[in-house]
Structure 1
Amino acid sequence: MQAPEGALASRRKKHSLAYEWGIVTGVVTIISFLLVAGSWTWNLDQVIYDAGIFLLKRPAREDVIIVSIDDESIATVGPWPWPGATIASLLDHMSAARPKAVGIDMVFAGPDTLSRRDNKLLAEALRKTPNAMLPVFKVQGQEVKPAVDFARNAQLVSTNPQIYPDEVLHNVSLVSQETGNPRPHMAFAMAKVAGIAAPPGDANEYLISYVGPPGTIKHVSAAAVLQGNVPPNLLAGKFILLGFTASRLANWHLTPSVIGSEKMAGVEVTANILCSLLDRKYIRQPDILFVGLVTATAMLLLLIAFYRASQWLSLCLMFATAVFAPVLALVLLYRFGLWFPPMSVTVSALFAYPYWNWKRLETICNYLDEEIVRLEHDQHKVPPVRAVGLISFADYIQNRVELIHVNINYLRAARKFLSESLDGLPFAALVVTPDGKLVTANQRALELCQLDKMDLSRHRIDHALAHHVELDGSDWLTAVLSALKGDELDLKAGDSKGSEFEVALAPFRNDEGVVSGLIIVIEDVTALRLAQREREDALSFLSHDIRAPQNSIMALAELQRDSGMRKPEAEFVADVEALARKTVMLAEDFLYLAMADSKTLNLDKYDLQSLVDDCVAEIQPQARAKQISIEISEADDRAVVMADRSLLVRAIGNLLVNAVKYSPQGGVIIMKCEISVMDAICSISDNGPGIHEDDLPKLFRRFSRAQSRDSRISGSGLGLVFVDVVARRHRGRTLVKSIPERGATFSIVLPRIDPLDAE
């Protein structure tokens, strides 16, 4: 299903993933901070906190006892309210045990509700009670104090708890400021008796570290105390809290529990606060600004990980963060007494992952739409590819995937087309990046650099070509930099084999006009240069060597017309004949050399010794004329070679002719046929003047001759060139050894064939 070009092109402006990540990061970090600042996850945090409080449970203190007015006491003593004398008797029994402090968590009626005798007895009992404490209650914003007679004999304290919206009692103000009169909480006042100073942190937000569930702290029935059934040593030196635990009289509060919330009497709550102060089990809570900054930082780190990680790893990180935050909060609470609300981190992590992936998916889809349009514009540049697998009605993403699949097929076809085009070029071509790293190369370049196509990306142009092709007067990296600057370059190169190359570098640009690489073309021009030199040699030969004897003939003819300078007819004819023969010899040598260069070889198996014998038989008359003897040394085994007989016989003959030509009168020429493991060797040695060392490099150059003291010895300078060309065309080589004044040895070395194969 092809997406309409106009529809795709008209989509909103595309943004990069980095841009979208920045937006997501900003939104998530702000949301995480606001979750903390606005306490939006308060209820979730309290669930974790309540579980942590359960983990902090510990054995109750032995020096904190609750004297409870429970259902048993009501049944034994009578219904509440009790007479003042009864309460006074209860206080007297407790005072007799000499406790450290007594906190009375109940409302004392004023004198108008008690008889004068009861009032006097109760006031006296409070006076005798050590460190007696009476609560002040708040009713409609006003303090309700005990009667003056009672208040003067006890410390007035507060017991009003702070109730959260979930009605669970989590913290308390150690110093109440509700009515403008600061009053310590009863538990705090009793702890001061034991020398406990104010705990660290905010006293108005003191988190209660409960000893355990209701009933953990030791209870003693008030009826048992009145009846004297409680041993005095049980109350001696203890912190006693007197209050209600009867089901219909107690002030019940919901307290944290791992299974929800459990009701606890107010007097037992005060006892738990006192135990936490005496145990110094403080729960500290960082400042809300600090919590917000830590949460925002955690989200920033998580989103950085999302940006770098895969989808699967990001999902794992999200769940790990969501679970790890509460676990870490419990660990901090249990080990260090530090409460860090974790659910803002958990909620932010659960929000960040889908939000980021939605923005990432949206950005990718927009990018795919844009690239689909661009790819469809370029499809006409490569051979057509049949679209398969497209779905006419499918998911939005599925359609984009199918469109990309189709266009990838076009890209594969384009890549194959370019690769085959490069391989089809008649010269080496390489593509490199601006810093010189290889991108691709055709087959000729791979062979030239001796590289594997799979390893190209690991090489640079200077390393790849360092030992194979060397630039004249420059190096590869310098040439690349010059080409990138737009300099006109005329580069030539060569290799260790003597090959010659012409090099061209052309930068290419991407769609934005930025240079993204260079194409380097290395063309082997060895054959072209050789042909040029041969043409120059041929022109030189025609213009000089061939014309020289002809000019001499013309000069002789001019002289012959002059009666004063005329030569005898016999001498004149002899000179003209010698010059004509020289012309013919030059022409024949030139034609034979051209034939040796271009002729299709008619190869067959020959015994090298038999060819040598034929050559000796042909040259023997010339040798006898100079009284030169030719000695032949045969090989121990047959030296069989694949050869074009006509060319090889003439090459050996040229060497024999030269040996005869340069040998002195009565000299000796030695012919040898030798074999080695791989080669057959034909050597011709003479005892002539030899060749000077400086002249050896000239021997196989066209139209070049070694210097000879005998000016009567003529030659074209092509004979030895012919021998060398024939040897090389037979996959062999020509060798020469010479000692001045003692002779020279020329050898033709050819690949040998096993005699059995020859049969």
Structure 2
Amino acid sequence: MKRYLAETLLFIKRMLGARKGRPAALVILLLLSLINLCSEWPRDVWRPAFVDAFEKLIPDSFGAPRELLFDHYQRRFPRIPTSEPVTIVEIDDKTLAATGQWPWPRNRLAALVDAIAAMQPVAIGLDIYMPEPDQTSPDKVADNLPPAEAELAARLRKLPSHEAMLAKSLAAVPTILGAAAYDHAAFATSTDMRSVPVLVHGTDPLDKVQRFDHVLASLPELQAAAQGQAMLNVALEQGTVRRVPMVMALGDKLVPSLSIEMLRVATGSPVLDVYADAYGVQSVGVADVRVPTQPDGDFWLHFASIRTTQNRYVSARDVLQGHVSPERIHNKLVLIGLTGSGLTDMRTTVLNELVPGIEIQAQIIESIFEGRYLRRPAWLKWAECAFTLTFGLLMIWYVPRADSHLARFMRTVPKASAVVGVGLNLLILWSCMVLFRAFGLLVDAASIFIILSAVMGSFFSTALADGDARHKTAPAPTASDDHGRIGRTPESPV
């Protein structure tokens, strides 16, 4: 076993040292570039079978560093809001303390919608779904009365149900109801819901977007009253929200997300436009607005810190009590959501902030309103690969040359290889951050750093192997006398 290990190490040293290490460096460059490409295979080319094999063999090899780097871009340059198109009416702790626990009777929610509508918002979106009848509705209460209260039960059944009251409120103002998509059947889920027609420009992207078979939506009576229905789903990666689907599939039809449906209703557009080609969704639009997406319909969100968006929150209690200035609601896109303790669905953003789910919807609308988009188009992956291969090949050709300026510099200056490596990678990172800040481009500097560092490291390993070999093969030193004569030791006779 020891002999086999020694022979293996000797073979590796010979391979590293062959032709000054260039073949080994070339193999490392090509192999890592292929693994990187397979970890994010562009959708604009045919996907060969070996890509899936690579992903299974080395899962998430470059994906995690890539996502962490993109998170760093946003933490370094978070979006600074320049407008306030959205107001969030939050059902918070003080609202629950004043009006009662959640879920509310639907007539109370209708009163909140009426109070908001009185201040003339552009549209109201409810980050709430109501798939079951209200058990406090007069007809439901009548069903639970004893036979002795037949007269009271009859009077109760003559009153409008709470669903009817809420439906009337929803129909009086542009409203959108939220829903949650499921990939499996659950209690109160269905296989369809009312939704706006989607007009596809180009190739049908049904097989490219996220697809679900079940949905948890509000009662049909409420759906019929609202002007729109939309999905509330967000994409989670290791517990962090980075992207949000702008459009997804429910069965065999495309359905919108809450944010884009809010804009459709606000602009009075009759349909949602989806622009797609053979590789997937390119953008989603309403009226004259087109939102660029990833091929699967996801929108890469540029987050603003929650500290800069606190002014958009208004307590539902203050709205019900008439203590809110109309300017906070008038001509705004209003979102109604839960933020009370134990009620809200808290999400972690790339800024390491824990925010209510309704905040994410507001930030999407705000980003679209300001035209601030993050992009990672398919061509960018090819550009990264071309740069990495070109720069890597230049390194393989230039670094081993003994007569090059770089070689003389590295022989002369202590720790020169570390200085060159750090300086090069800092330059690449700085360039990518400039592209992020100026154009919203998500350039994968992490993969470039890993691959080029590995190539440079192979030459360092070659140098170590050569040095070790020279040390082992050098002749043993012999002593000399003060006159430089070789072969005499101090103890030798004259």
Whether the TM-score (by the shorter chain) exceeds 0.5 is yes
- Pair 1:315–1:396, CA change in 2 (3 A): same
- Pair 1:273–1:123, CA change in 2 (3 A): same
Q: 1:178, 1:358 → 2: CA distance? A: 54
The reply on whether 1:326 has 2:429 as its aligned counterpart is yes
Match for 2:420 among 292, 317, 323?
317
Match of 1:121 in 2: 165
- 1:165-212 Cα offsets, whole Å, 9 max, x none, are x21100011001254431111111223435452323426231101122
Match for 2:62 among 25, 29, 41?
41
The reply on whether 1:200 has 2:292 as its aligned counterpart is yes
Match of 1:341 in 2: 444
CA positional deviation for 1:290: 4.3
CA positional deviation for 1:265: 0.6
- Pair 1:323–1:400, CA change in 2 (3 A): farther
Match for 1:265 among 351, 356, 376?
356
Match of 1:471 in 2: none
- Pair 1:182–1:315, CA change in 2 (3 A): same
Match of 1:699 in 2: none
Match of 2:74 in 1: 53
The reply on whether 1:135 has 2:182 as its aligned counterpart is no
Match for 2:114 among 62, 87, 92?
92
Runs of at least 4 residues off by over 6 Å: 10-16
Q: What 5-or-longer segments of structure 1 have no aligned partner?
A: 1-9, 366-394, 407-412, 414-759
Match of 2:393 in 1: 300
Q: 1:29, 1:214 → 2: CA distance? A: 45
CA contact (8 A) 1:36 1:344 kept: no
Q: What 5-or-longer segments of structure 2 have no aligned partner?
A: 1-9, 40-59, 138-159, 185-212, 268-286, 479-484, 486-494
The reply on whether 1:76 has 2:62 as its aligned counterpart is no
Q: 1:110, 1:14 → 2: CA distance? A: 70
Q: 1:228, 1:14 → 2: CA distance? A: 80
Matched position secondary structure for 1:224? helix
The reply on whether 1:65 has 2:87 as its aligned counterpart is yes
- Pair 1:189–1:398, CA change in 2 (3 A): same
Match of 2:233 in 1: 160
Q: Pairwise mapping of residues 660-671 of structure 1 onto structure 2 (< 5 A)?
A: none
Quick one: which amino acid aligns to residue 353 of structure 1? M
CA contact (8 A) 2:180 2:231 kept: yes
CA positional deviation for 1:103: 1.0
CA contact (8 A) 1:68 1:243 kept: yes
Q: 2:35, 2:382 → 1: CA distance? A: 10
Match of 2:258 in 1: 186
CA positional deviation for 1:401: 5.2
CA contact (8 A) 2:92 2:316 kept: yes
Match of 2:328 in 1: 234
- 1:199-228 Cα offsets, whole Å, 9 max, x none, are 234262311011223662510001111111
Matched position secondary structure for 2:291? coil
Match for 1:246 among 336, 340, 356?
340
CA contact (8 A) 1:30 1:296 kept: no
Quick one: which amino acid aligns to residue 433 of structure 2? L
Q: Pairwise mapping of residues 618-629 of structure 1 onto structure 2 (< 5 A)?
A: none
- 1:143-164 Cα offsets, whole Å, 9 max, x none, are 1221111111220111100111
Quick one: which amino acid aligns to residue 373 of structure 2? Y
Q: 1:114, 1:295 → 2: CA distance? A: 65
Match of 1:730 in 2: none
Match for 2:376 among 268, 280, 285?
285
- 1:54-79 Cα offsets, whole Å, 9 max, x none, are 31320352221111111111111111
Quick one: which amino acid aligns to residue 224 of structure 1? D
Match for 1:150 among 222, 225, 231?
222
Q: 2:348, 2:369 → 1: CA distance? A: 23
CA contact (8 A) 1:52 1:330 kept: yes
Match of 1:398 in 2: 471
CA positional deviation for 1:291: 3.5
CA positional deviation for 1:109: 4.3
Quick one: which amino acid aligns to residue 363 of structure 2? N
Q: 1:242, 1:103 → 2: CA distance? A: 6
- 1:524-547 Cα offsets, whole Å, 9 max, x none, are xxxxxxxxxxxxxxxxxxxxxxxx
Q: 1:28, 1:71 → 2: CA distance? A: 57
Match of 1:219 in 2: 313
Matched position secondary structure for 1:307? coil
CA contact (8 A) 1:211 1:276 kept: no
CA contact (8 A) 2:214 2:250 kept: no
Matched position secondary structure for 2:432? helix
Matched position secondary structure for 2:87? strand
CA positional deviation for 1:100: 1.2
Q: 1:15, 1:337 → 2: CA distance? A: 41
Quick one: which amino acid aligns to residue 125 of structure 1? S
Identical counterparts, % of pairs:
22
- Pair 1:69–1:84, CA change in 2 (3 A): same
Worse-superposed segment, 79-88 or 302-311:
302-311
- Pair 1:229–1:52, CA change in 2 (3 A): same
- Pair 1:16–1:167, CA change in 2 (3 A): closer
Q: 1:52, 1:199 → 2: CA distance? A: 21
Quick one: which amino acid aligns to residue 136 of structure 1? A
CA contact (8 A) 1:67 1:242 kept: yes
CA positional deviation for 1:305: 4.0
Q: How many residues align?
A: 363
Match of 1:28 in 2: 29
CA contact (8 A) 2:80 2:308 kept: no
Q: 2:250, 2:387 → 1: CA distance? A: 33
Structure of larger gyration radius? 1
Q: TM-score, normalised by structure 2?
A: 0.67
CA contact (8 A) 2:129 2:216 kept: no
Matched position secondary structure for 2:354? strand
Q: 1:335, 1:248 → 2: CA distance? A: 40
CA contact (8 A) 2:78 2:304 kept: yes
Q: 2:111, 2:19 → 1: CA distance? A: 79
CA RMSD of aligned residues (A): 2.9
Q: 1:90, 1:37 → 2: CA distance? A: 51
Q: 2:17, 2:337 → 1: CA distance? A: 69
Q: 1:398, 1:16 → 2: CA distance? A: 15
CA contact (8 A) 1:41 1:344 kept: yes
Match of 1:502 in 2: none
CA contact (8 A) 2:105 2:134 kept: no
- Pair 1:127–1:331, CA change in 2 (3 A): same
Matched position secondary structure for 2:306? coil
The reply on whether 1:209 has 2:209 as its aligned counterpart is no
Quick one: which amino acid aligns to residue 322 of structure 1? N
Q: 1:205, 1:182 → 2: CA distance? A: 13
Q: 2:234, 2:16 → 1: CA distance? A: 55
Q: 2:469, 2:462 → 1: CA distance? A: 15
CA contact (8 A) 2:176 2:229 kept: yes
